[in-house]
Amino acid sequence: MKKVTLIGSGNLATRLSLAMSATGQFAFQQVYSHTPEHASDLANRLQCTWTTDAKAIRPGADLYIFALKDTALENIAAQVPANNGLWIHTAGSMPMEVFRPYASRYGVLYPLQTFSKQREVNFRQIPLFLESNSTESAALLQEVASLLSDNVRFLSSEKRKNLHLAAVFACNFTNHLYALAGEILEEAGIPFDVLLPLIDETAAKVHDLSPRRAQTGPAVRYDENVIGKQLAMLTDAQTREIYRLLSQSIHQKSQES
Amino acid sequence: MKKVTLIGSGNLATRLSLAMSATGQFAFQQVYSHTPEHASDLANRLQCTWTTDAKAIRPGADLYIFALKDTALENIAAQVPANNGLWIHTAGSMPMEVFRPYASRYGVLYPLQTFSKQREVNFRQIPLFLESNSTESAALLQEVASLLSDNVRFLSSEKRKNLHLAAVFACNFTNHLYALAGEILEEAGIPFDVLLPLIDETAAKVHDLSPRRAQTGPAVRYDENVIGKQLAMLTDAQTREIYRLLSQSIHQKSQES
């Protein structure tokens, strides 16, 4: 059993710690969160103690997992009393070296997935991207990651930034397009769920075809008649600009190769 | 057996006619396409004759299915010799009344899905939206649609336009974001398929949570540090503008309610 202290209680902290707990291979020691309700809720589920004071984080754990907003990470890391555990963070866009002033053994475990507290995900299929400051840390990190997922590899901080940026496009921006589509349907009194087979097929298609080959619709055909009519239907200026820009980008990219 | 003439040989024409053929309830009479190779290929698969001359489309079929680009639809419909069949088109943004000058029985069957010639899809799950110019046509259309799908309903031309616009956001624009994400990964030498679990989960999530509740990432947190760093990584001006605009829209919509 590896002893774990969790620093953070957000979406990722919640889903990662519960997945770790479910393997039966990790014993949680302590949960830190600046919000007492969040710290105590998650500590209850992980059967451990909690604190809202980063300076009260105890030594003795094998792993210190920092799952925090980027803006909080360095500030909190600076407050944690020195210890001999392996410190890891889970952030796509933060370099591993953020830990250098505060710890001797450190690394990164970045899960490429979208997490919500209320939704369980199957960790075994999530790609985990690892980085560590020594061979010894690499071995421990690999061991921990392999207990969680079948899809584990090492990647530098520099390349992890690309991964995070790609994920913003493929997940956060995509989800926002679902939201905008839902608003358009709502205006016509049509329920969102009529879109689900289309959303599912759009995702499934790129398992077999490259996104470029999978593309269909008025923009790639450059059907100016439809594009013009659809632009005119959009009453929100910002949504209209999104439509215009994405249609233009689809058309340009389709001409490139 | 219903006798069918197919006008068109593109992605939708191909997938719809093959799905109809597979039910064993339709006998294809003739395929029209302006490209002889496309017409003959599809006619071979449907075991029927073909033509590249719309004026040579024969009478005697129960259904005339026009699956054409919007820009070609009216022009081709005007050339088809008058007959007593039910004329239907499959276009999201074209009114049913486009057929009024040319036919006495007409309607629309709009499948809300993305189709590629080379990819089979399960029609039974595809929402089909119907419209017709008479009760008698409605009954026939409903019968035809129900042979193909378990998800059939009637919708006006006006509301079908909203549906089509929503589909452009949820499918064509989403697929383009996958393409942009793929380009970002390619620059770092990371294969596209690491994104597939994230793409799948992003789609699966909105079966259970509304897109607004499902949203995660730097834009909804308004993490200016990450947003600024990610904007700086994007070297293509148009892609940078897409990032900026979508981040702003995510943030604004999250503040609204």
Beta-ladder partners of A65: A6, A88
Are A171 and B252 within 8 A, CB to CB?
no
Contact B181, A167 (CB under 8 A): yes
E-state strands within A15-146: 26-32, 49-51, 63-66, 86-89, 106-111, 128-132
d(Cα B88, Cα B91) in Å, to the nearest integer? 9
Q: Which of B202, B236, B247 to mutate to test the interface with A (most CBs of A within 10 A)?
A: B202
CB A26 within 8 A of CB A123: no
- Which residues 120-159 of B have a C-beta within 8 angstroms of A? 121, 125-127, 151, 155, 158-159
Average pLDDT value for chain A: 96
Between the two ends of chain B, the Cα-to-Cα distance in Å is 53
Q: Which of A155, A182, A197 is the last residue of a domain?
A: A155
Q: Do B178 and A170 contact (CB within 8 A), yes or no? A: yes
> Do residue A139 and residue A241 come from a single domain?
no
pLDDT tens profile B137-193:
999 999 999 999 999 999 999 999 999 999 999 999 999 999 999 999 999 999 999
Map tokens 């079908």 to a residue: B160
Give residue B225's pLDDT: 85
Whether B249 sits inside 8 A of A229 (CB atoms) is: no
Which pLDDT value is given to residue B205? 97
* Residue A92 tokens, joined: 């796509």
CA pair distance B176, A220, nearest whole angstrom: 10
Give the full edge-to-edge strand order of the sheet including B106-111: B49-51, B26-32, B2-7, B63-66, B86-89, B106-111, B128-132, B152-154
Contact with chain A for residue B185, Cβ under 8 A: yes
What single letter denotes the amino acid at residue B29? Answer: Q
Closest C-alpha to A19, from A91, A77, A75, A90 = A90
Is residue B148 domain-shared with residue B225, that is, in the same domain? no
Average pLDDT of span A82-100? 97
Beta-carbon separation of B202 and A168 below 8 A: no
Is A244 within 8 Å of chain B by CB?
no
B contact residues 24-53, partner A, Cβ 8 Å cutoff: none
The range of the structural domain enclosing residue A94 comes to 2-155
- Which chain A positions have a beta carbon within 8 Å of B234's beta carbon? 165
d(Cα A254, Cα A215) in Å, to the nearest integer? 9
A182 and A127 assigned to the same domain: no
Return the amino acid letter for B84.
Answer: N
Mean pLDDT of B87-102: 97
Same domain membership, residue A232 and residue A170: yes
CA distance readout (Å), A104 to A55, A92, A235, B163: 18, 21, 56, 57
Instruction: List Cβ neighbours of A247 (8 Å cut-off, separation of 6 or more).
Output: A218, A219, A227
Q: What six digits make up the tokens of A34?
A: 């600046």
Is residue B85 classed as helix, strand or coil in its secondary structure? coil
Taking only the tens place, the pLDDT of each residue in A208-235 is: 999 999 999 888 888 888 999 999 999 9
**Is any Cβ of chain B less than 8 angstroms from the Cβ of A72?**
no
Q: Distance from A153 to chain B by nearest Cα, in Å?
A: 11
**Beta-bridge partners for A30:** A5, A49
Supply φ then ψ for residue A37, to 5 degrees: -60, -40
User: Which of A83-122 are b and which e, b meaning 16 or more Cβ less than 10 Å from the residue's Cβ?
Assistant: bebbbbbbbbbbbbebbeebbebbbbbbbbbbbbeebebe
Residue A241 has what pLDDT? 97
CATH code of B247's domain = 1.10.1040.20
CB B141 within 8 A of CB B107: yes
CATH number of domain containing A59: 3.40.50.720
Task: Specify the pLDDT at position A257.
Answer: 63
User: What span, in angstroms and rounded, lies between the C-alpha atoms of A61 and A4?
Assistant: 5
- Among the partner residues A167, A177, A188, nearest to B174 by beta-carbon distance: A177
CB contact under 8 A, B214 and A175: yes
Residue type, B127: P
Distances (CA, A) of A221 to A170, A227, A256: 23, 10, 14
Q: Say yes or no: A84 and A182 in one domain.
A: no
Query: CB A69: neighbour CB atoms within 10 A?
Result: 15
A164 and A151 fall within a common domain: no
Average pLDDT over residues A228-246: 96
Question: What digits encode the pLDDT tens for the residues B109-128?
Answer: 999 999 999 899 999 999 99
pLDDT score, position A155:
97
Q: Are residues B59 and B109 in the same domain?
A: yes
Q: Which of B155, B176, B191 is the last residue of a domain?
A: B155
Helix (H, G, I), strand (E, B) or coil at A119: strand
Q: Is A126 found in the same domain as A52?
A: yes
- Number of domains observed in the structure of chain B: 2
The verdict on A93 and A196 lying in the same domain is: no
Q: What is the percent of chain B where pLDDT is above 90?
A: 92
In the three-class reduction of DSSP (H, G, I as helix; E, B as strand; rest coil), residue A62 is classed as coil
The answer to whether the beta carbons of residues A97 and A77 sit under 8 Å apart is: no
ipTM of the complex: 0.95
Mean pLDDT estimate for chain B: 96
Domain match, A181 and A113 both: no
Q: Where are the beta strands (DSSP E) in B33-166?
A: 49-51, 63-66, 86-89, 106-111, 128-132, 152-154
Q: Which of A155, A179, A214 is the last residue of a domain?
A: A155
- Smallest CA–CA distance from A126 into chain B, residue: B197
Flag if B113 and A176 touch (Cβ within 8 Å): no
Looking only at Cα atoms, what is the longest distance across chain A? 67
Interval B185-227: pLDDT, tens: 999 999 999 999 999 999 999 999 999 999 998 888 888 889 9
pTM across the whole model: 0.94
Percent of chain A with pLDDT over 90: 92
Token pair listed for A83 = 């210890």
Give B58-67 pLDDT, tens digit per residue. Answer: 999 999 999 9
Q: State how far the Cα of A120 lies from the Cα of B84, in Å rounded to an integer.
A: 56
Q: Tell whether B199 is within 8 A of chain A (Cβ).
A: yes
Please report which confidence band the pLDDT of residue B35 belongs to, taking 50, 70 and 90 as the band edges.
very high
Degrees, nearest 5: CA angle A2-A7-A8: 130
Q: Within this chain, do residues A89 and A177 fall inside the same structural domain, yes or no? A: no
B198·A171 Cβ contact <8 A: yes
A121 and A51 fall within a common domain: yes
